[in-house]
Amino acid sequence: MSRHARRLSLSLIALLAGAALAVAVPGLAPGDAAPPATGSFTAVDLAWQVTGDAASSSVTIAKGGTVTFGYPAGRTRHNADFTGGPMPASCTQTAGTQGGTPPPLPTVPTAAGWSGTCRFDTPGTYAFHCDMHPTLMHGTIVVVDPNAPPPSTTTRSTGTTSVPPPSRTTTTAGGGTTSPGDTTPTGTTGTTGTPAGRAAPLRAGVSIAHVQRGTIVRGVAIAPAAGTRIDVTAFASNRVLGTRRPRHVRQVRVGARRVRATAAGRTSFGLTLDAAARSALRRRHSLTIALRVVVTAPGARAVLRTATVVVRLPLSKPKPAPGGYAY
């Protein structure tokens, strides 16, 4: 066979092999109905429910669609917070007491009578929770692109049969795995508060002593990179802050602090309790604080960590013994 003929034969084989490949593209499966452009959630005491469906806490909408959130009636306080995962493109509160720019929607847990709407422009899964009841009140929004090609399986031709290519996975430091094309690892990351399967910056974590003394709550955050923002917020029950028993129990913010890491690694922070918390500590000698720490690295998703700290009065200094010496 001449060199020219051999070159043509190799080119023909390459073209046939390329034609046998099918590229997987995310989208609706054949036969699936187009998702709606809107959805709605209603907060009831200690649960998020799809409006009109008490058994469901998840909705699927089309890319660019909106979801309405509301807490029409009840005796406690709720909000919808997306911290720790992908965020909506925008949110607008349309009713109720407003305390800042959402999200969260509202920015803090708020009494019944509020509502608002969020828009979702990027396909993906969005998880949210109530800041006052994070272990009980969860919801999920799945955003899909109805115009994306239907998913298909990548195959390669091997003569008379087609078999899928071998799977290649790599184990990450957090115990999860990544496959070719993955952008973030899955599995448990950090130290506390991030469920398995949720993407998070590697090594983001927080270390906080459970029992501390004084009016400054201290901790250490592990920053994935220089410039990481660390937002620390402290909450306490209004039952212990006031001298009278409140009609409705709720969490009240008693301090906030923001620091920025100058380098990757350990970054210390200290949050000073406000006057109401300091007064309650003097009266009760012990105060339980709920800490909410959000670690946001440049170009990465925010990671939420929560901790409970028991704050006690500082140890009193020993009184000088007769003669001027302290024992």
Q: Is residue 167 part of a domain?
A: no
117, 144, 171 — which closes off a domain?
A: 144
Same domain assignment for residues 212 and 306: yes
Going by C-alpha positions, the residue among 113, 39, 49, 109 that lies closest to residue 81 is: 109
pLDDT at 29: 58
Higher pLDDT, 319 or 54: 54
φ/ψ (deg, to 5) at 213 = -120, 145
Higher pLDDT, 90 or 167: 90
Same domain assignment for residues 221 and 125: no
Q: Give the integer Cα–Cα distance in Å for 186 and 176.
A: 5
Number of independent structural domains in the chain: 2
pLDDT at 324: 52
Q: Give the integer Cα–Cα distance in Å for 114 and 98.
A: 9
Token pair for residue 137? 């009140």
pLDDT at 281: 93
pLDDT at 55: 79
**Domain around 288:** 205-312
Classify residue 208 by its DSSP letter: -
Going by C-alpha positions, the residue among 81, 108, 104 that lies closest to residue 253 is: 108
Average confidence (pLDDT) over 17-34 = 48
Q: Is residue 109 part of a domain?
A: yes
pLDDT at 316: 67
Q: Is residue 108 part of a domain?
A: yes
| pTM, to two decimals | 0.43
Token pair for residue 32? 């699936």
Q: Is residue 283 part of a domain?
A: yes
Average confidence (pLDDT) over 105-117 = 93
Q: Is pLDDT of 2 > 50?
A: yes
Q: Give the integer Cα–Cα distance in Å for 237 and 252.
A: 6
119: Cβ–Cβ under 8 A, 6 or more apart, which residues?
A: 64, 65, 66, 88, 89, 90, 91
122, 144, 166 — which closes off a domain?
A: 144
3-state helix, strand, coil in the chain (%, to 5): 10, 40, 50
User: Which residues are registered as beta bridge partners of 235?
Assistant: 253, 290
Q: Please check whether residue 222 is in contact with residue 284, taking contact to mean a CB–CB distance below 8 angstroms.
A: no
Query: What does the pLDDT look like over 118-130, one tens digit per residue?
Result: 999 999 999 999 9
Query: What does the pLDDT look like over 134-183, one tens digit per residue?
Result: 877 889 999 999 888 765 544 444 444 444 444 444 433 334 433 333 33
Q: Is pLDDT of 23 > 60?
A: no
Higher pLDDT, 190 or 98: 98
CATH number for the domain that contains residue 123: 2.60.40.420
Q: Is residue 67 part of a domain?
A: yes
Q: Give me the chain's average pLDDT, please.
A: 76
Q: Which of 7-16, 160-169, 203-212, 288-297 has the highest mean pLDDT?
A: 288-297
Residue 109: count other Cβ atoms within 10 Å of its Cβ: 23
Q: Please check whether residue 217 is in contact with residue 234, taking contact to mean a CB–CB distance below 8 angstroms.
A: yes
Q: Is pLDDT of 21 > 70?
A: no
Q: Is pLDDT of 261 > 70?
A: yes
Residue 246 — very low, low, confident or very high, per pLDDT cuts 50/70/90? confident
Average confidence (pLDDT) over 28-50 = 83
Same domain assignment for residues 232 and 307: yes
92, 123, 144 — which closes off a domain?
A: 144
Q: Is residue 188 part of a domain?
A: no
CA distances from 69 to 73, 76, 96 (A): 13, 16, 12
Same domain assignment for residues 306 and 210: yes
Q: Is residue 271 part of a domain?
A: yes
Q: Is residue 178 part of a domain?
A: no
Lowest mean pLDDT among 44-48, 77-81, 226-230: 44-48
pLDDT at 131: 87
pLDDT at 233: 92
Hey, what's the torsion of the CAs at 148, 150, 156, 162, to 10 degrees?
180
CATH number for the domain that contains residue 234: 2.60.40.2550
Same domain assignment for residues 303 and 209: yes
